Amino acid sequence: MGELRYRVVVGLEIHVQLCTKSKMFCGCALSFGEEANSRVCPVCLGMPGVLPVMNEQALEYAVLVALALDCKIAEFTKWDRKSYYYPDLPKNYQISQYDLPLGSGGFIEIPLEAGRTKRIGIIRAHLEEDAGKNLHTAGNFSQVDLNRAGTPLLEIVTEPDMSSAAEVRTLAVELQRMVRYLGVSEADMQKGHMRFEPNINLIITKDGVEYKTPIVEVKNLNSFRVLERSVDVEEQRQLDEFLETGEVMGMGNKTTRGWDDINQVTVLQREKEEAPDYRYFPDPDLVPVEFKCEWLEDIRSRLCELPIKRQIRFVDEYKLSDYDAGVLTAERSTAEFFERVVAAGGKPKRVCNLLTQVGLKLANEKGCSVAELDITPKDFAQVSNDVDGGILSASGANKAIELKAQDPDKPFSVIYEENNLIQKSDVGELEQIVEQVIVDNPKAVEDVTSGGKKSKKAQSFLLGQVMQKTKGQANPKVVSEILDRKLG
Amino acid sequence: MAAKIDQTQVKKVAKLSRLDLTETEAAEFTGQLSAILEYMEKMNELDTTNVQPLAHCLPISNVFREDAVKESLGTEKTLANAPQRDGEFFKVPKILDEI
Amino acid sequence: MQSELLNMSCKELRDGIAAGRIKSAAATEAVFGAIEKYEPVIGAYISTFEGRALAKANEVDAKIAAGEPVGELAGVPVAVKDVMCTTFGVTTCASRILENFHSPYNATVVEKLLAADAVIVGKTNMDEFAMGSSTENSGLKETVNPWDTTRVPGGSSGGSAAAVAGRMCFAALGSDTGGSIRQPASFCGVVGLKPTYGRVSRFGLVAYGSSLDQIGPVTRSVADCALMMNVIAGRDPADSTSVDEKNAPVCDYLEKLDEPVDKLKVAIVPQFSAGADEPVQKALTCALDVYKKLGAEIIEVDMPHLDYAIAAYYIVATAEASSNLARYDGVHYGHRTENAGDYVEVYSKSRAEGFGKEVKRRIMLGTYALSSGYYDAYYLKALKVRNLIRGDFAGAFEKCDCVMMPVSPTTAFKIGEKIDDPLTMYLSDIYTISANLAGVPAISIPCGFDDSELPIGLQILAPAFAEDRLLRIARMFESNTDWHRKKPTIVE
Ligand SMILES: [Mg+2]
Ligand SMILES: [Zn+2]
């Protein structure tokens, strides 16, 4: 067998539920697990005679994302009907956008390792209404719940620019971070706010000839894990299939597969020949949307710095590691809080440690954001500076923040005092303790002075003894200096 | 001249329309739709190369509603006309294929 | 007394009720008396609401006795085509698929009628889902023409026209997608107006061809038509395609109704109108003479694309219908088959059992026109032809105040005459369809009879949102003729 190389090519279709108050075309509240069919009105039930009316907020949210994706916004756009029969689709057509999507031709920057980024092209972004849910758990029949029917849904289609399962996952995560930053979606994967449909195929070079395998679309994936896994699984499956059948991409041989989570495989859903005929045509019940300059500028003014940009800036401006910058910029409120602490005088690296080691932990426990902890940026800045000034140890600082969170009204001076958090840096006082430790531990002293391979360990042991005697309050830097001086 | 639409096409369209047709109906519709489509050929007398399609006569755009919640029907009223229900759900025969 | 009451105009009756001279209850009872007498023959109604109607009439009478303000249609018994949703009774669209459908909401026009204190006596028969020109496509019952019970009342609002002509209500609402108000009005010798697309809310009007459908009044006089328009016209936030007050303000259509249009310029399309039967053409000529005597100038215009209206219409309307009617699937409401093996059969069998032939035919035609490979040749082509037709109107209205032409090439035809030949039936819509494609308002008013004593209508078309002038032009004719006072023998 000759030489064989291959790479995977993936494009992604992503559906994002927007977090408006009401549905896309009617006044029903969005559903969060209420009683089935309780958030349904004649319009989203598709009753005879009803008419849709556009939710302006949904449109603005969609445009905001399209702008963040650097898309061109259509001056003129309209609504189309996409026809197919399914029990969760009450009108048996979905109101969507076909030939004139509101956004097209953009890109998204995704972070790779070591601070590098990659641009993934965005083909289009359009708005549509979600369907309800069919449930198949009840026995020999299916149940239909229309609570979700009519929820505003943003569909984003990328170019086939991703070349690994990891990249696909990264894009999904980045997009989640983006829509959360923009405040247009909770993007809660568990609640199905984001759903993915990767289009996957392989480019195989065999004996110097390039082959493309038929495209497979995997439907309706709703976790990052499954998304990544499905690409890996498809990669292997398509390779095996190619080696067996030699089938290559052609007209109309795209197939649709579903994900079987139990067996961790993709399963064929729709054969090639049965490409559905959606009979798109302009929805006569809705009028076109025209984006006038002023309106567009007004929406544009609501854009914020995007997470990836902010992450890169944090590395540049605050000299943080890419990892730390990523953690701080994961949530918009955390990133903004970090910058407020720095503005209040905290040193970036120290503030970063405080926020990531204790701030986020506390926020997580309380189920709130760091900004909502009742600890002000000034508080964080003070603690941070007290570490830098040798007043607190790193662990003492964390303890101080924890205590402050429990009792926000108590001044730090009292917290430090009551909990013996202030470090002992007085050389005279510490020298006496060090001498006592040297006397009490001749074996360790000998290990240090003889300079063998046990030397380092012994020195740490002695330092530990000093810390123990001072109940952890000794400034380890000062103690080390004394030890070095006395045993060196 | 060949018929504009044959029985195979009629059956395909019926399937797409989710209409069960009897053989008699299919034959009858084939004849009628053929005659109608034949008549539609009339439109081809017109040169419409530079004519914009007109989907709507209205001179308006940008009709919106405010993002405000209105009361829903509630489960009972939603299901009041349901031919079959199962508790608070609409009930249909088991759906085996996914879309 | 009873027949005197029944022959009153809506306006006379309303004024009499509001002044306390007439009781709404008496008018309502008279109407139900007429229903008892004529309905077994005419068959105009799918459902009637005697108890409800009398309760509403008594409520209005009590308000008036107490000196409380009442609405513009205070106590007037009216009917509504069964294509508009009501929370009372059923809303069937004359289809077996909706035979037992109870709407949880009222159409906006129904809300407006109720707010105007009208008494809704019943819901009228129609061609199933408003698809037809004779009411023979009703899946539920037959309606005959009050002037000749062997003939059709026209369609699809045949029940509304027959009920108004047969004195079984004082006015009714119909819906017009390709002539469904005007043609039955003409066949039944009453007035029928299709307003400008966007003038009356479609919310709650069960859709057939959404870009063409409009609700309008069927009445016994132009004045009553104006009164009804005062009640139903106007923008509705629930209908995105209803037009803004700023773009096209609604006016009081009654206020200046009796002021003739000064220097009226009427356009005719001679070659196009020449396709009508001789009695129809003769009536049109006589009508034009009336206008000439009133000082109108008659000019000829060329509207070369009107001949293509039927082809364009039956593509656009059926394409939209195929999608609008997709929702009737037996899952969430409506008829459900008892013979479904799987969920796909719930659709295909429920729909096969629930829909009548004409509806199936149009769904198939529309589906075909939108399907992959045929979209450009049929649907897109039709939209382009539609634009040409709109251009014809724009050109004509630069030269005139209105266009006049027949409503239908024939008078009411025999029941069963055309039912097996759908294309011939479609071709009879030649004069009414273009107003829907262009979105302009058009009215049918009685203008004569043929040798068999069957009524003939005159159609007047005006520019978009010019209903006020259209009604005034129609009123000029009515004030100088007696055609609208003739009654079908059955009610004499
Ligand atoms: Mg989609
Ligand atoms: Zn709703």
What pLDDT shows up at residue A377? 94
- Report C:65-104 residues touching A (Cβ under 8 A): 84-85, 91, 93, 98, 101, 103-104
Full-model pTM: 0.92
DSSP C456: E
User: What is the mean predicted confidence (pLDDT) over A21-36?
Assistant: 95
Distance CA A234, CA A237 (A): 5
Q: Could you tell me the residue ranges of all domains in chain A?
A: 4-298, 307-418, 427-487
pLDDT of A426 higher than 90: no
Q: Does the CB of C210 have a partner CB in chain A at under 8 Å? A: yes
Cα(A259) to centroid(ligand 1), Å: 18
Nearest to A48 among C98, C241, C343 (CB): C98
CA-nearest residue to B98 within chain A is A269
Contact B75 A35 (CB under 8 A): yes
Q: Among this protein's residues, is C9 annotated catalytic?
A: no
Supply the angle between the helices A476-487 and A455-469 in degrees, to the nearest 10.
130
- Residue pLDDT, tens place only, A69-80: 999 999 999 999
| Packing angle of the helix pair C10-18, C24-42 (nearest 10 deg) | 150
Residues of C within 8 A of B29 (CB-CB) are: 360-361, 364
State the distance from the centre of ligand 2 to the C-alpha of B72, rounded, in angstroms. 6
Mean pLDDT of chain A, nearest integer: 92
Q: Answer whether A144 sits within 8 Å of C237, measured CB to CB.
A: no
Verify whether the Cβ–Cβ distance B64 to A219 is below 8 Å. no
Name which of A47, A84, A95 to mutate to probe chain C: the one with the most chain C Cβ atoms within 10 A of its Cβ. Answer: A47
Q: How many CB pairs under 8 A join B and C?
A: 162
With CB atoms and an 8 Å threshold, state whether A36 touches B87: yes
User: For the residues A452-464, what does the mean pLDDT come to?
Assistant: 83
CB-CB: which of B62, B67, B98 is closest to A290? B62
Does CATH number 1.10.20 belong to domain B7-44?
Answer: yes
What would you report as the CA-atom Rg of chain A, rounded to the nearest whole angstrom?
30
Contact between residue C190 and residue C165 where contact means Cβ atoms under 8 Å apart: yes
Shortest CA gap A265–chain B (Å): 16
Buried b (16+ CB within 10 A) or exposed e, B17-39: bbbbbeeebeebbbebbbbbbeb
pLDDT in tens, A116-151: 899 999 999 999 999 999 999 888 999 999 999 999
Query: In angstroms, rounded to a whole number, what is the distance separating the alpha carbons of residues C140 and C46?
Result: 8
Q: Is the ipTM of this complex over 0.90?
A: yes
Per the CB < 8 A criterion, the answer to whether C84 and C173 are in contact is yes
Interface test with C, best of B18, B24, B70, B92 (most C CBs within 10 A): B18
Whether the Cβ atoms of residue C242 and residue C33 lie closer than 8 Å to each other: no
Ligand 1 centroid distance, CA of A128 (Å): 7
How many other C-beta atoms can be found within 10 angstroms of the C-beta atom of residue C147?
Answer: 25
C371 touches chain B (CB under 8 A): yes
User: DSSP string covering A168-192, please?
Assistant: HHHHHHHHHHHHHHHTS----TTTT
Ligand 1 centre to CA of A130 (Å) is 8
- Rounded to 10 deg, the angle between the C10-18 and C222-232 helix axes is 60
List pLDDT tens digits, range C138-193: 999 999 999 999 999 999 999 999 999 999 999 999 999 999 999 999 999 999 99
Q: Is the pLDDT confidence value at A481 over 90?
A: no
Name the CATH architecture for the domain at A427-487.
Orthogonal Bundle (1.10)
Written as six digits, the tokens of A64 are: 């905001």
Catalytic residue among C24, C133, C156, C434: C156
Full pLDDT tens readout for chain C, 492 residues: 578 899 999 999 999 999 999 999 999 999 999 999 999 999 999 999 999 999 999 999 999 999 999 999 999 999 999 999 999 999 999 999 999 999 999 999 999 999 999 999 999 999 999 999 999 999 999 999 999 999 999 999 999 999 999 999 999 999 999 999 999 999 999 999 999 999 999 999 999 999 999 999 999 999 999 999 999 999 999 999 999 888 888 999 999 999 999 999 999 999 999 999 999 999 999 999 999 999 999 999 999 999 999 999 999 999 999 999 999 999 999 999 999 999 999 999 999 999 999 999 999 999 999 999 999 999 999 999 999 999 999 999 999 999 999 999 999 999 999 999 999 999 999 999 999 999 999 999 999 999 999 999 999 999 999 999 999 999 999 999 999 999 998 887
The 10s digit of each residue's pLDDT in A49-70 is 999 999 999 999 999 999 999 9
- pLDDT of A130: 98
Local confidence band at B1 (pLDDT 50, 70, 90 cut-offs): very low
Q: Residue A322: pLDDT above 70?
A: yes
- Residue contact B92–A87, C-beta within 8 A: yes
Q: Which CATH superfamily is domain C2-263+416-491 in?
A: Amidase signature (AS) domain (3.90.1300.10)
The answer to whether the beta carbons of residues C91 and A48 sit under 8 Å apart is yes
| C376 DSSP assignment | I
CA of C336 from ligand 1 middle (Å) equals 29
Phi, psi of A11 (to 5 degrees): -115, 155
Q: Which among C463, C472, C469 is positioned nearest to C196, based on CA atoms? A: C463
Closest-CA residue in chain B for C210? B56
Sequence ranges of the domains in chain B? 7-44
CB distance B36–C326 less than 8 Å? Answer: no
Q: Where are the domains of chain C?
A: 2-263+416-491
Q: Do B64 and A53 touch (CB under 8 A)?
A: yes
> Which of residues A274 and C362 earns the better pLDDT score?
C362
Q: Report DSSP letters for A20-70, one per residue.
A: -SB-SSS-PBPPSS-STT-S--TTTTT-TT----EEHHHHHHHHHHHHHTT
Chain B residue with minimal CA distance to C379? B53
Structure tokens at C175: 């819906």
- The answer to whether C81 is a known catalytic residue is yes
3-state secondary structure (DSSP) of residue A259? strand
pLDDT band at residue A238 under the 50/70/90 scheme: very high
Backbone dihedral angles phi then psi of residue C233, each to the nearest 5 degrees: -75, 155
Q: Which of B13, B54, B95 sits opposite C386 (nearest CB)?
A: B54
